[in-house]
Amino acid sequence: MSMINTHDILETIGMITSESLDVRTVTMGISLLDCADPDPKKACEKIYNKITTKAARLVPVVEKIATDYGIPIINKRISVTPIAMLLASAPTADPVEYAKTLDRAAKAVGVNFIGGFGALVHKGFSAGDEQLIASIPEALAQTDIVCSSVNIGSTKTGINMDAVKLMGQVVRKAAEITADNQCMGAAKLVVFCNAPEDNPFMAGAFHGVGEPDCVVHVGVSGPGAVRAALAKLPKDAPLDEVAELVKRTAFKITRMGQLVGNLAAKELGVPFGIVDLSLAPTPAIGDSVANILEEMGLESCGCCGTTAALALLNDAVKKGGVMASNHVGGLSGAFIPVSEDDGMIKAARCGSLTLEKLEAMTAVCSVGIDMVVVPGDTPAEVLSALIADEAAIGMVNSKTTAVRVIPAIGRKAGEELDFGGLLGYAPIMPISTYSPSVLINRGGRIPAPLQALKN
């Protein structure tokens, strides 16, 4: 058949139909720097107008690409400039009004999520930052599709422990005031170290200040396709072959993302930003990063060997993806959220996957402690300390790490929370109850680590 062989055609169709291969998101990044105004009403009006103008055609264009090309594209999203930057010039503003404006604008253009209700405070707070952070719980409770992220540390600046202390309280409050809705507030809030400025994935997407005015990013998916490819390898195939196969599969997955990104950027008349090479799981059976690790040869994700298998997977995904794309960025790696991954959920339920093992895994893969549900009586200081631990891993290893943890208010270890949709469901995982309170209350900054004498 012409230039394409039958095997390749059937492989692609199989990946899409039975292995859940899809483009997870086309995310439009929009700068709101030109919307700052001392009058909050005027600022919100400018924000609404800019988003609804720039993203007016985003959803129909992406849907048309999906229909014309036969590629499933799951989400359409928007990321914007961290809103704290706009609050700097409007000291009397109520940040919640800005969040509501984002929510209205995003709904008007029909996207699934809008990210960027956040602040970058890795070295300290500037005007607007503290107001914004304090308003996050209320903002997330009063909106439906707004996501929030705060960057509290980086390899070059160290960790802002005052912000870490604050974020433990904010995460807890976000869960408390949405306790009647599965503590959903905390599921839309990420605390970062080394946050990327071009991440298309939620809840951590925001439009960095170094980005162009408007840009399109693509996030691919495809854990199911990688697992299915590995299932065809003999169980005694050496790990070099495993890595090679992951690379080949990641290449194909990423090429599909690159194609969609090029088409969307051209049609929308904006530059194409990056492809995020992440393996993003879903709660659908088989579309799981944990299942890939198990396919490599682990009885259950979380057992000894998990970190090594994940390190191989994460590296091979990047190596395969890099060649497939002009520009790579975002988080790029394997995601290990618990509630969004069928295999992780099962491993957490049976006890093979613990919070401590997850923390170790985050040292070698994309992101961090993600969509983990902890007991409702977990104090804010413990959440802050968990954030500090993750940030330290990211800071020292020069990589992005993040915490999206949900204290299940009024519930105990062993019970479950169900967020619905792609956010999934998860058992409540036990967390150490010994107190880090003195450490957290010291505040200040953890100095940036040495970039030499590495051992």
Q: Which residues bind other proteins (CB under 8 A)?
A: 1-6, 8-10, 12-13, 16-17, 64, 67-71, 252, 255-256, 258-259
Q: Which is nearer to other proteins, 325 or 378 (CB)?
A: 325
Give min distance, CB of 322 to other proteins, in A.
13
Q: Which is nearer to other proteins, 275 or 408 (CB)?
A: 275
Give min distance, CB of 4 to other proteins, in A.
5
CA 119, 405, 150 angle in degrees (round to 5)?
A: 5
Give min distance, CB of 370 to other proteins, in A.
28
Give min distance, CB of 324 to other proteins, in A.
8
Side chain identity at residue 408, one-letter code: A
223-231 and 239-268 helices, crossing angle to 10°: 150
Q: Which is nearer to other proteins, 51 or 250 (CB)?
A: 250
Handedness of CA 429, 394, 192, 449 (dihedral sign): positive
Give min distance, CB of 346 to other proteins, in A.
29
Residue 284 CB coordination number (10 Å):
15
Give min distance, CB of 317 to other proteins, in A.
16
Q: Which is nearer to other proteins, 254 or 401 (CB)?
A: 254
Backbone angles phi, psi at 23, to 5 degrees: -90, 115
CB 376 within 8 A of CB 172: no
Q: Which is nearer to other proteins, 23 or 289 (CB)?
A: 23
Give min distance, CB of 17 to other proteins, in A.
7
- Between CA 144 and CA 121 the distance in angstroms is 25
- Between CA 175 and CA 419 the distance in angstroms is 12
Q: Which is nearer to other proteins, 119 or 263 (CB)?
A: 263
Side chain identity at residue 67, one-letter code: T
Residue 26 CB coordination number (10 Å):
29
Q: Which is nearer to other proteins, 8 or 299 (CB)?
A: 8
Q: How far is CA 102 from CA 78, 83, 346, 388, in A?
A: 10, 10, 36, 29
Quickly list DSSP for 97-130.
Answer: HHHHHHHHHHHHHT-SEEE---EE-SS---TTHH
Quickly list DSSP for 273-298.
Answer: EEEE--B---SSTT--HHHHHHHHT-
Q: Which is nearer to other proteins, 57 or 357 (CB)?
A: 57
Give min distance, CB of 219 to other proteins, in A.
17
